[in-house]
Structure 1
Amino acid sequence: MKNYSMPPSHSDVFRSLMLFSRYSFGVPGKLILLGLLITVLPATTSAEKWKLVWADEFNGKKLDYSKWGIEVNAFGGGNQELQIYTDRPENVRVQNGRLVIEARNDGHAEVGTKRDYSSGRIRTKHRGEWRYGRIDVRAKLPVGKGIWPAIWMLPTDNVYGTWASSGEIDIMELVGHEPDTYHGTLHYGGKWPNNKHTGKPYKLTSGTFADTFHIFSIVWKEGEIHWYLDGKLWQSQKKWSSEGGKYPAPFDQRFHLLINLAIGGNWPGPPDGKTKFPAQMLVDYVRVYQRSK
């Protein structure tokens, strides 16, 4: 997630905060046969053939713990966020064929800390990790001041050093006071505070991201990353660096996916009297493809 003053929460930070964090695990959920599906994505991807290698359609009765871990912490994401992340069904659940991440103004206490807001954050680390490919997430986003939904990726192994030397890929971030705009960003360069970021915003021609579902995608290849909305290319990046390795580092290693709904923080600021709670981020599916040989 975008960060203007402090490093975001990433794998090495959580290892140092084990007393304040825990992860929820469970029995494997439903299995999906992935290897048989080959699809041709829209013409904006040059009619490349892609093979579905990982997916969650959220058709079960609960989150599939063979694919996702739920993070529980009150760390604040390194961005002065205001929520506590929990594994309660009030905050993370599967309902009516969709993942629901719900932020609530309920004064919840957990991991020895009380926060005014509770919410959810899940990740595929050690369950789904990829080097290159296409990721599609069909989601409907909450809006309002202080609301901060994100779909993003972190390196599984900090090969090139701590954040942001080993990189971060932000597929989608929305700050709720700009309900018609989302951001696609790369973080890289040196260790914080010598990190860099480059990216662009995408603005809808009408309506907001709370009105309907959209498909947020990236196509990630060696030396290039492209952002798509509903199958249409809108941003490409090919220039980055890492103090820990040569180009195309750091975006040449395994990354995993995160989906979360933060409240407050340095970028969106706190909620105001007009912000509506509970606020829900709905995800219809997550699909990961790799190029078919």
Structure 2
Amino acid sequence: MHYSLPLALALGLLLVACQSAPSDTSTSAEAMADATPGAAYQLVWSDEFDGEHLDTTKWNYNVGGHGWGNNELQFYTDARPENARLAGGTLRITAIHEPWEGKEFTSARLTTKGKADWTYGRFEIRAKLPSGVGTWPAIWLLYTDKEYGNQGWPDNGEIDIMEEVGYDPDVIHSTIHDKAFNHSIGTQVGDTLRIPTARSAFHVYRTDWTPDSIISYIDDQRYFAFGNTGEGWEEWPFDHDHHLLLNVAVGGNWGGQQGVDTTAFPTAMEVDYVRVYQQK
């Protein structure tokens, strides 16, 4: 979710990354891809979004309108049902075109930080995405512990389970960010899969994170794999706690590349469930 690029440039940087990364990166991930589906996992945390109110023993609200490092246009509100509410067994995160605290849009950004943080696991989220040019929904993991380097981003790691931008609808991205592999030095690593019904139907977005690899799936179809090269924290900081985030951004460095269609709002990402498993 942090400092993403336009699609064409991102794809170009992905090619650079694939050419420059050590050859055992993909090899390790491919090997783990065969082993992961057969691993024994148990459910350790979940939210089915039943009931009438968001469970604040599980979720925090990130609040503010400072652009969130990406020049985003929305103000993320605090416990405002217009932006985040439960309805019919789903969580609805709604971006609205309205003036709020000096911003032109409101939305919500939910995080489990400090309430549920994990090192490794299978992260499975069933969701339906919003529509509209200028939308930027994301389901992702961000470092909780500040173990390495600059004590922040990108040195301590980010795992994007699902991102999509409204001007390129139904193209789903999964990406990792760390000191060695990020767009600012031309080495961002990720991949995409087109899901024609991403905005009209629910799909299961999943990432399996182990000590050896990070592998992403949509409806059990694997489309991105990144392996632990064993070359140090610069390439693999993914050995300490991360937390989960769900949000719908508006505009920004990537989401706003082709402007914002204000007539598309309000628009929502609906989340049926979030389930986290760990190996037994």
Q: Which of the numbers 193, 209, 214 marks the counterpart of 1:202? A: 193
Aligned CA RMSD, in angstroms, stands at 2.2
Task: Tell me which residue corresponds to 1:170.
Answer: 160
Q: Measure the CA separation in 2 of the matches of 1:215 and 1:192.
A: 27
Task: Tell me which residue corresponds to 1:289.
Answer: 277
Is 1:97 the counterpart of 2:89? The answer is yes
Task: Tell me which residue corresponds to 1:261.
Answer: 248
Give 4+ residue runs of structure 1 displaced > 6 Å after superposition. none
Matches for 1:59-78 after TM superposition, within 5 Å:
59-78=50-69
Q: Measure the CA separation in 2 of the matches of 1:100 and 1:120.
A: 10
Offset at residue 44 of structure 1 (A): 8.3
In 2 relative to 1, CA 4–258 (structure 1 residues): closer, same or farther, beyond 3 Å?
A: closer
1:114-170 C-alpha deviation (Å, 9 max, x unpaired): 111000000000111111110000000012210000000111111112210001000
Task: Tell me which residue corresponds to 1:155.
Answer: 143
Aligned residue type for 2:166: G
In 2 relative to 1, CA 172–238 (structure 1 residues): closer, same or farther, beyond 3 Å?
A: same
Is 1:128 the counterpart of 2:116? The answer is yes
Q: What secondary structure is seen at the aligned counterpart in 1 of 2:178? A: strand
Task: Tell me which residue corresponds to 2:213.
Answer: 224
In 2 relative to 1, CA 122–149 (structure 1 residues): closer, same or farther, beyond 3 Å?
A: same
| TM-score normalised by L of structure 1 | 0.78
Q: What secondary structure is seen at the aligned counterpart in 2 of 1:290? A: strand
CA contact (8 A) 1:241 1:250 kept: no
| TM-score normalised by L of structure 2 | 0.82
In 2 relative to 1, CA 170–70 (structure 1 residues): closer, same or farther, beyond 3 Å?
A: same
Q: Larger helix proportion, structure 1 or 2?
A: 2
CA contact (8 A) 1:188 1:196 kept: no
CA contact (8 A) 1:187 1:195 kept: no
**Higher normalized contact order (CA 8 Å, seq sep 6+, divided by chain length):** 2
Is 1:137 the counterpart of 2:125? The answer is yes
Question: Bigger shift: 57-66 or 189-198?
Answer: 189-198
Offset at residue 183 of structure 1 (A): 0.4
Is 1:272 the counterpart of 2:265? The answer is no
Aligned residues with identical type, % of pairs? 43
Task: Tell me which residue corresponds to 1:18.
Answer: none
Q: Which of the numbers 207, 212, 216 marks the counterpart of 2:201? A: 212
Q: What secondary structure is seen at the aligned counterpart in 1 of 2:255? A: coil
Uncovered stretches (5+) of structure 1, i.e. residues with no partner: 6-42
